[in-house]
Structure 1
Amino acid sequence: MKLTLTHTFQSLTVRNFRLFAAGQLVSVAGTWMMVVAQDWLVLSLTGDSGTALGVVTALQFAPLLLLTLYAGGLADRYDKRRLLTAANLASGILALALAVLVLADGVQLWHIYLFALGLGTVNAIEVPTRMSFVSELVGADLLPNASALSAAYFNTARVVGPATAGLLISWFGTGPVMLLNAASYLATVAALRLMRPAELHRTGSRPQRARVMDGIRHMATRPDLLLPMILVAVVGMLGFNFQLTLPLLAKTVFHADAAAFGLLSTALAAGSLIAAFATTLRRGRPPLGLVIAAAAGFGIFQTLSGLAPTYLAAAVLLFCTGFGSIYFAQAANHRIQLGTDPAYRGRVMALYTLVFQGTTPLGALLVGALSESLGARAGLLLGGAASVLVAVVVLCLHLRGIRGDPRPPPRRTAPATAKNAVPDDKATH
């Protein structure tokens, strides 16, 4: 038991990672409080409009679709610690501006749209930079463990944030919750500035040019990376729309208040947290079959959540859905990043972010419109069915590839022009 715990929390023996994880825990908890407050405010302003909620989600994720690949090049070329400091300061300023509008009772729907777009633009740079920065904190040997622990603190924040936000909204309204979110970004900034740069795992010099197309070509020539990326694209676009589907399910199906909505979000996050801790014990690169099975399992539980007859049944099934979501995300993450040549990792992880989160605007608009037309359950049913279907399709492609060529795909070496690039790994939530 003691040995298991030692392996589970091994990355926390690294001072820089401890600081990073502590700052992220506070900041991400604030972000999830903001998600609940923002969604509740949108529904209050629009009379429970699923379309309006879909537009907010789409605006927040649209910049990821447009800018993430470019941001991956920035992460390969520039100091990630400085990029992350600037991004968190910018996010804090944006959150503070919206909080002031809400507290002054002057907020309108277009203000929320503008905030979502601004925050999405910052996130387009912050997300791939943060993902690739974790390898500099812990090194390649501890990367799988650090990746899983990153998911653990992220989902700990998802447990604490929505539940706390639901209570605070009931007591004080959405404005103070948004103000707390603005202050929470300072925790990450402080953690970044307290790190010891000399202890970061940086090797070689950064490339003067990190072309996006080189990363795309690398991905296209590697079926072992391309197939899990297809899973990530479809599941991310249609299955990971809980920011949209959960408030609609809580308010329009079960007629719950803000506190009960927060508890549904907490149930989803609690399952995710258990999955994150379970994956801390993983060593090495998971097989593609595990990634496919995880996608199918997630889809089945999400479908059942959409069919849940009662609030309690929905909470239990959302717990299982949360477990499946993170287990799939971590399996796909490790499959892709641990199979990618170091010279391309920054750009490949940007591509991963693009297909996982950048496709969310398309999914959010579709799921939002469908939920408004057919009811809140329809969004969950669509995401679950699509996840199961793509798992079956990828399994067929994988089996066809095995029959056509039983040899493992060749590993490509970095071109001579990139041999001095900083090797970037990633740990994501």
Structure 2
Amino acid sequence: MTAALPAPRRFGPLRDKHSRPYLITAGLSMMGDNIEHVITYWVLWQVFASPWLVGFQLISHWLPFLLFSVVFGGLAEKYDCRRLIQIAQLLFAFVSLSWGLLFLTGTLEMWSACVLLVLHGCAGALWGPAEQLMLHDFATPEELPSAVRLNATFKSLGVLAGPVVGSALMLLLGTTWGIFANILFYLPMTLLMLRTPFTGHTRSGYVRRERISILDTPRVLGTVRRDPVLVGMIALAGLIAVCMGTSLQVVMPSVADGLGAGDEGGLGYGALLFANGVGGVVGGILIEATGVLRVEVRSAVLAAIVYGLTSIIAVTSGSYALVLTALVIGGVANLAATAVGQALVQIRAPEEQRGRVVGAYSMIGSGMRTGNGITLGAIGTVLGVGGAVAVGGVGLIAGTALIAALIALHARRGRAA
């Protein structure tokens, strides 16, 4: 649990002329992803006011990750990752263009909205494995954890800025022209893939020759079970997804009301809403600058436990300052746990299965967020939404401790053998 890689240069990937624009354009694409959510979700509620459609928005976004991530990882192993990224970005842009045309012509219907929501989710699932494999070309093995962490930080910045920029676009341009303008955020990464010399296979030289099959998912999961660290980090990603997912964002209105900061448009509520995201961005920068985070199982475990503790504090404390602090620290811990876990998975994955293993990580870490909505709703009906998040925090702490114990037990048996 303590073996770690040599300390990399501080902000090493940002010093490279190839990886720097890659990280920035990834953040812009993630911003476009979230701008689309802001605009389309508002329009869909205004047009249909359907609770069923609200639930489908969540399911359609994450279910493609659960179903297709390993298959898309296989595609990333076999084909030029630049082209897969371009296809994903163009699919994002096509969906935004289609929304705009439907808004402009007044022809939006429930079925067309559902189709576009599914296509948007598929674009995200296709983008993920290819985008992660490209990091292996941009960064040396020693700097790969830094590249993964900075990639997550820039994406977190896109997630944080997306609602702000989306709201501004609706205010300045309206929903129709705002969604048309959103297409521009996908163009930088699309065009960058025409210039970069890397393919996602340049450094390793490995290109998969076998056919892509839907059966790759059970095969890959059967293979990685031989490595307890791989299994543990994939399980930890799934645990965070199921126990926490996006529940903190959902529960913030209730928390704000309990603290007396629930006025619509109030600064108190807004600060709570953005505190968790700010923690992810600022935390990623501070961790990179200080080098305090070692790429080892212990770091991921401790970060996940802190995330669980701060989540419990955020929904049970009566102090506004304490809740705000807990949300910021929780954002840092969440980014640390996921970045370290993903770096370990990418480092330890067999070269000939790296794309599919990364896909398996995405399948569990992102796809299982669909389960968070189910658990939040089921437990929330009994204990309230705040109580449901607290239970999720307890579950995250207990599950993380169990994962750490099993990895340590396997390592002890290996040394004894």
TM range (shorter): 0.7 to 0.9
Equivalent pair of 1:64/1:120 in contact (CA under 8 Å): yes
User: Is there any run of 5+ residues in structure 2 with no aligned partner, and where?
Assistant: 1-7
Which of residues 288, 291, 301 in structure 1 aligns to 2:297? 288
Question: Quick check: 1:333 aligned with 2:342?
Answer: yes
Find the residue that maps to 2:285 and give its secondary structure. helix
Question: Quick check: 1:273 aligned with 2:281?
Answer: yes
Equivalent pair of 2:32/2:182 in contact (CA under 8 Å): yes
Find the residue that maps to 2:241 and give its secondary structure. helix
Q: 1:15 aligns to what?
A: 17
CA–CA distance in structure 2, aligned partners of residues 189 and 155 of structure 1: 20
CA–CA distance in structure 1, aligned partners of residues 411 and 209 of structure 2: 39
Pair 46,340 (structure 1): closer, same or farther in 2 beyond 3 Å: same
Equivalent pair of 2:145/2:340 in contact (CA under 8 Å): no
- The one-letter code of the counterpart of 1:154 is K
Q: Offset at 1:392? A: 2.4
Equivalent pair of 2:255/2:386 in contact (CA under 8 Å): no
- The one-letter code of the counterpart of 2:361 is Y
**Which segment drifts farther, 343-352 or 366-375?**
366-375
CA–CA distance in structure 2, aligned partners of residues 170 and 317 of structure 1: 32
CA–CA distance in structure 2, aligned partners of residues 257 and 372 of structure 1: 27
CA–CA distance in structure 2, aligned partners of residues 11 and 308 of structure 1: 39
Question: Quick check: 1:224 aligned with 2:226?
Answer: no
Please report the TM-score for the alignment, with normalisation by the length of structure 2.
0.83
Equivalent pair of 2:13/2:143 in contact (CA under 8 Å): yes
Q: 1:160 aligns to what?
A: 161
CA–CA distance in structure 2, aligned partners of residues 178 and 327 of structure 1: 33
- The one-letter code of the counterpart of 2:404 is L
Equivalent pair of 2:81/2:200 in contact (CA under 8 Å): no
Question: Quick check: 1:237 aligned with 2:239?
Answer: no
- The one-letter code of the counterpart of 1:350 is G
Which of residues 327, 348, 353 in structure 1 aligns to 2:357? 348
Equivalent pair of 1:138/1:201 in contact (CA under 8 Å): no
**Which segment drifts farther, 298-307 or 94-103?**
94-103
**Which segment drifts farther, 85-94 or 376-385?**
376-385
CA–CA distance in structure 1, aligned partners of residues 389 and 291 of structure 2: 29
Q: 1:421 aligns to what?
A: none
Q: Offset at 1:356? A: 0.2
Equivalent pair of 2:310/2:329 in contact (CA under 8 Å): yes
Q: Offset at 1:399? A: 4.3
Q: Offset at 1:120? A: 1.2
Aligned length: 402
- The one-letter code of the counterpart of 1:70 is V
Please report the TM-score for the alignment, with normalisation by the length of structure 1.
0.81
Q: 1:37 aligns to what?
A: 39
**Which segment drifts farther, 189-198 or 319-328?**
189-198
Equivalent pair of 2:134/2:199 in contact (CA under 8 Å): no
Q: 1:66 aligns to what?
A: 67
User: Is there any run of 5+ residues in structure 1 with no aligned partner, and where?
Assistant: 1-5, 409-429
**Which segment drifts farther, 391-400 or 112-121?**
391-400
CA–CA distance in structure 2, aligned partners of residues 378 and 200 of structure 1: 47
Q: Offset at 1:138? A: 2.7
Q: Offset at 1:88? A: 0.5
